[in-house]
Amino acid sequence: MTPIFPEQSVAVLFSGGDSPGMNAFLRAIVRLGLNREKITVLGVRDGYRGLVRTARALNGDAEALVRLKKDIATHVGRAGLISEQLHIIQMDHASVSGIMGKGGTILGSARCLEFHDKEVRAKVIHLLKGLNIRALVVVGGDGSLTGAKLLEEESDLRVIGVPATIDNDLQFTDMALGVDTAVNTLVWSVDHFIDTARSHRRVMVLETMGRESGDLARMAGLASGAEMVITPEAGPLTAADMQRLAAKIEGAMTRGRGHAIVLVAEGVQFEPQQKRNRAYVLMEAFQEYFQRPGAPFPDLEVRPSVLGHLQRGGHTTPHDCILAARFADCAWKTIIDENGRNGVTVLRKNIVEIVPYGTADMPERAAFSQEMEQLHEHLSSW
Ligand code: ADP
């Protein structure tokens, strides 16, 4: 049988920093498409970069477009995934089998600076139209969703955004895909650091991700029992602030605490500015304080660690898998609705819905952050 390129399809891409839950989302969007909507999903490799490269290779040539469609139709599923040349793959059941719990994304994610250029985006829009795309689904963080917003403003394409980032810095949704898994990973990490901190009577300073938001660190602090969480929202830390924090740890030690885990979010800044990692700056400041003349615990050691990309990988939690399925369901319902709005899928008060691009931050999110901070303060005090 001659392979036939689908008359209509939905394209999906993963962009920016990867997050757990992306694979679960891919599986859900593909399966809902094949089983319920009877519409094929085309997976784009490496985010916007895959579209830009394909558009550039075609260069508006109609015959090249016909060849591309034929290539896609003859390399369905895994055959497409292993092909070096194809950046657009027609997904089938088998190609999304066994991926739900795996972190990262089998389609690859990337950053693509060229996509900031309007002319480049115009070529991508031309490509998507040439492929008869009914809608494009963009899964990613703040930057990726900004790119999606521009695409929908500059064309009549349906473009649906899906928030996926471990940073939980998107203030228009209660949770983004990947946050729950990252919090789990942080709790696991803290558990490991506690063992050695307790054995050596040490203070461990662990730097978490989160961009400008302290939410990831706050959630991990509450869930892990870390003694201290330092977040960026309160403004830059001065030397006096760091002494005050060190005094707090020392105070707990005099009351019988044997160790301390300090989580510091990567968005934390210092006054004056520091070029080194936050965990190292804090380590030096704390160590200096603990060793001042007459201090009660001059031998108290401080060890820094930057947790880094460890936080982005690992087995996706059930919560993230369920959220991925719900986001995919919401995206499909919007796509097949003739009057459906373009926008971003969000989770609000346990309801998944679509909100327009550029929706304002929810005040509840700031209130929730404050609540977490106060709760942590009460739970961690000695
Ligand atoms: P994240 O989506 O995780 O926040 P980035 O901020 O790095 O990650 O954005 C990912 C990609 O989204 C960028 O490499 C670029 O291709 C696209 N993008 C980001 N911001 C814009 C923008 N203002 N205009 C167009 N595309 C953008």
**Nearest-angstrom CA–CA distance, 59 and 78:** 27
Task: Output the residue whose Cα is nearest ligand 1's atom 6.
Answer: 143
Residue 169 has pLDDT above 70, yes or no: yes
Catalytic residues: 167
Q: Indicate the SS3 state at residue 106.
A: coil
User: Ligand 1 mean position to 196 CA, how many Å?
Assistant: 39
C-alpha 16 to ligand 1 mean position (Å): 6
CA distances from 256 to 225, 228, 253 (A): 16, 16, 5
Q: pLDDT for 202-238, tens place per residue?
A: 999 999 999 999 999 999 999 999 999 999 999 999 9
User: Using one digit for the tens of pLDDT, what is the confidence trace for 245-268?
Assistant: 999 999 999 999 999 999 999 999
SS3 156: coil
What residue's CA is closest to ligand 1, atom 17?
A: 144
- What average pLDDT does the segment 182-210 reach? 96
Ligand 1, residue 164: give the atom nearest the CA: 3
* 3, pLDDT greater than 90: no
**Locate tokens 């209660």: which residue?**
174
What distance in angstroms lies between residue 375's CA and the mean position of ligand 1's atoms?
A: 34
Closest CA to 40 of 63, 62, 18, 69: 69
**What's the gap in Å between 369 CA and the centre of ligand 1?**
26
Kindly report, residue by residue over 42-99, the tens digit of the pLDDT: 999 999 999 999 999 999 899 999 999 999 999 999 999 999 889 999 999 999 999 9
Q: How far is the CA of 368 from the centre of ligand 1 (A)?
A: 27
Provide the terminal-to-terminal Cα distance of the chain, rounded to the nearest Å: 73
| Ligand 1 atom at minimal distance to the Cα of residue 111 | 14
- All domains of the chain, ordered by start, with CATH? 9-177+316-360 (3.40.50.450), 180-312 (3.40.50.460)
Residue type, 79: A
Residue to probe by mutation, ligand 1, list 116, 167, 173, most atoms within 8 Å of CB:
116
Ligand 1, atom 8, residue with closest C-alpha: 16
Tabulate helix, strand, coil % of the chain (nearest 5): 50, 20, 35
**What residues are in contact with ligand 1 under a 6 Å CB criterion?**
15-17, 48, 111-112, 115-116, 140-144, 146-147, 150, 165
Which amino acid, residue 173?
A: T
* pLDDT range class, residue 19, cuts 50, 70, 90: very high
User: Computed from CA positions of residues 32, 37, 41, 47, in that sequence, does the dihedral angle turn out positive or negative?
Assistant: negative
Classify the C-alpha dihedral 353-142-173-209 as positive or negative.
Answer: positive
Cβ atoms of 260 and 197 closer than 8 Å: yes
Per-residue pLDDT band at 1 (split at 50, 70, 90): low
φ and ψ at residue 146, rounded to 5 degrees:
-65, -40
Tokens linked to 376? 């942590």
Task: Kindly state the helix (H) or strand (E) to which residue 369 belongs, with its residue range.
Answer: helix 363-380
